Structure 1
């Protein structure tokens, strides 16, 4: 929905697996439903396997492909680098792109360590002075029901927040013979369920409540210590699992609320079960990703005879993002959160504003994950979440 005078934003994306496919759908779709200040050009997708990345480019709608991410940064027709690779390469790619004057969208968690995340934030702050923007991809913020939940809390309709419960449950590795993929190796992924799933509920709960986690008391567990090596499954060779399978922790928030968090890949029967409930002295709300077009809301200020949780169907044009899509009652899906994410990023770039969540937000989540790991490893009880270094 642009014309020839609209400036072009050339996108180069590193990675073409699960997240690459989700991001490709967003870039491909966003201009068809939202009025944008810039035209999206899906310039190039990058991956190490020549045949695989060529096939991905043809399937996902990219007009060219590369086998070295450095080429994305060198190309004049690419203005934004979208980082959808495993965590061990986030810092290198993002920093190089920012230093070359390219905007950056980086998948979560921002990095594999606090040190890497801090360095990335430093690069983002330097680049911002030249008008270069950076955003971390916590896409669940852009589910309309989750954004509506944040608005309800910000309006004070829950009153003083008392208690938060957040869980993210999957079951894709319950089989002990599931191979030792990259997500189960610390040197590539940084952490297991904690970083993959826990990062989402840490960010989303803080986004909804407006409060940040200040201290934690945690435990983590690896149930299956060894798994078959993917490249040697025929001869029975196995390798060590070096990340957590489950992470659980208590938390205190800086606004006075208390919270519980649970992230597990061993919740048999649960496929992608994220749920957050927030309780205040004037009401409560609950969001469940498996019913992502709904928000449960309880208003404790109403007449006692009619109090109870109300199911809000978040499909009205007045709801966040929804007006660009379908008539009321026609629900959205997981993929739309990514479309909303890139829509907001495009507007921030065009309007010279700071897109959220920022790399500072990504570092703050990394600091929470670090505190959880330290508490669990040391059996240390309560551990404070460190304040980010001044950048």
Structure 2
């Protein structure tokens, strides 16, 4: 029997393009998939660099025109790995052309654009064309186990949620400008780039949505040097400086629709922290804690155990019974950053093959976008409590009861 093919076009040839290329390359080798992904074409801005990326990552061809790939009959899915300002145009055009879409987070640079994308995805789904937003950390086995424990009621009533995403790659004030530091391209800084992951994981694990927030944003370094290549010149030295127009750090507290309260932090100035995505849920009967700097471990506290044996249990989530693990290595041989993307692609292909909506959906991405927007509005209003658009919850009084 000949397996049906899923032709993939990827738009974006940078860091995310590399991770997604690895995922499309590896997923069919480890997972039994209903469709065979074929890397048809990668699209980038510069013809020479994009062709080099195609050869390095195993794509059949390259292009500098994303619109042209929508006309190809051998492309059934478009994978969007570009800066946030281009997500809305590419995603909607691809869905209207009958192509499935995988789009990196955050979904868009504004709620209005995210709403348009979610509406297009809902309309396409009625025709059997599906869209998913790429919150890849959901696919770590330890996070999958944490979700199972919550759904089984092992934590009881969820009362508090703490989530932080800590990096330090911008602590050097002379580190060069990138597109992630310009609001018209990135939408926001640490808030949307990494804070979106913390928000999504907290909502995903709790099975609840943020309803209102009180937030603070700050920028520590307001200008940085531009690399010569960013100015169209040869070499790397230069004196031109660019303005940082996004936040360097974001702090906010939250109330969830179902009752829990939450505290969040996203920063690229946490000296010594390289990629510490940490989330902890505390409930009436137990707690869970995860830190991506120890990615194969979930800590679980069962408050119902006898007092003499109480304590956090360190679970090595590398057993075949843990989510996604049975497709990978023998027990104890852990997974890392790239495997979240591979697991994500495998789930997406299986959902497309089964004709069902993959998760997280564009509606899930829209919910995160609305939380990001509420945080920005709260920060602009002096950290005033601000309702998330569409949330069915009252904003608490400014002075909270003790």
User: TM-score over 0.5 for the alignment?
Assistant: yes
Query: Hey, what does 1:40 align to over in structure 2?
Result: 37
1:116 aligns with one of 113, 119, 123: 113
Query: Hey, what does 2:89 align to over in structure 1?
Result: 92
Indicate conservation of the 8 Å contact 1:299/1:308, yes or no.
Answer: yes
Task: Encode CA deviations 1:57-112: one digit per residue, 9 max, x unaligned.
Answer: 11111111111111221111100000000001000100100000000000000000
Query: Hey, what does 2:396 align to over in structure 1?
Result: none
Aligned pairs for 1:288-367 (under 5 A) are 288-367=291-370
Give 3-state SS (helix, strand or coil) of 1:74's partner.
Answer: coil
Are the structure 2 counterparts of residues 188 and 110 from structure 1 closer, same or farther at C-alpha, using a change threshold of 3 Å? same
Aligned partners of 2:344 and 2:383: how far apart in 1? 38
Aligned partners of 1:57 and 1:229: how far apart in 2? 27
Say whether residues 1:221 and 2:224 are aligned partners: no
Moved more, 373-382 or 114-123: 373-382
Say whether residues 1:138 and 2:141 are aligned partners: no
Compute the TM-score of the two structures, normalised by the length of structure 1: 0.97
Query: Hey, what does 1:167 align to over in structure 2?
Result: 164
Aligned partners of 1:240 and 1:49: how far apart in 2? 24
Give 3-state SS (helix, strand or coil) of 1:162's partner.
Answer: strand
Offset of residue 211 of structure 1: 1.1
Indicate conservation of the 8 Å contact 1:275/1:287, yes or no.
Answer: yes
Moved more, 39-48 or 243-252: 39-48
Task: Encode CA deviations 1:20-65: one digit per residue, 9 max, x unaligned.
Answer: 0000001000111111101111111111111111110111111111
Count, aligned residues: 386
Q: Tell me, which stretches of 5 or more residues in structure 2 are unaligned? A: 393-402
Indicate conservation of the 8 Å contact 1:103/1:133, yes or no.
Answer: yes
Query: Hey, what does 2:259 align to over in structure 1?
Result: 256
Say whether residues 1:24 and 2:21 are aligned partners: yes
Aligned partners of 2:262 and 2:293: how far apart in 1? 21
Offset of residue 351 of structure 1: 0.6
Say whether residues 1:104 and 2:101 are aligned partners: yes
Give 3-state SS (helix, strand or coil) of 2:6's partner.
Answer: strand
Indicate conservation of the 8 Å contact 1:107/1:136, yes or no.
Answer: yes
Task: Encode CA deviations 1:1-30: one digit per residue, 9 max, x unaligned.
Answer: xxx521100000001111100000010001
Give 3-state SS (helix, strand or coil) of 1:291's partner.
Answer: coil
Query: Hey, what does 2:57 align to over in structure 1?
Result: 60
Offset of residue 166 of structure 1: 0.5
Give 3-state SS (helix, strand or coil) of 2:70's partner.
Answer: helix
Query: Hey, what does 1:179 align to over in structure 2?
Result: 176
Are the structure 2 counterparts of residues 99 and 234 from structure 1 closer, same or farther at C-alpha, using a change threshold of 3 Å? same
Compute the TM-score of the two structures, normalised by the length of structure 2: 0.94
Give 3-state SS (helix, strand or coil) of 1:274's partner.
Answer: strand
Indicate conservation of the 8 Å contact 1:367/1:388, yes or no.
Answer: no
Q: Tell me, which stretches of 5 or more residues in structure 1 are unaligned? A: none
Offset of residue 155 of structure 1: 0.6
Offset of residue 261 of structure 1: 0.2
Aligned partners of 1:299 and 1:79: how far apart in 2? 46
Consecutive aligned runs of 4 or more in structure 1 exceeding 3 Å deviation: 231-235
RMSD between aligned residues:
1.2
Task: Encode CA deviations 1:190-236: one digit per residue, 9 max, x unaligned.
Answer: 00000001000000111111111010001000001111123367452
Aligned partners of 1:254 and 1:33: how far apart in 2? 39
Give 3-state SS (helix, strand or coil) of 1:290's partner.
Answer: coil
Aligned partners of 1:230 and 1:379: how far apart in 2? 35
Indicate conservation of the 8 Å contact 1:16/1:47, yes or no.
Answer: yes
1:11 aligns with one of 1, 8, 11: 8
Aligned partners of 1:17 and 1:7: how far apart in 2? 29
Aligned partners of 1:388 and 1:60: how far apart in 2? 42
Query: Hey, what does 1:271 align to over in structure 2?
Result: 274
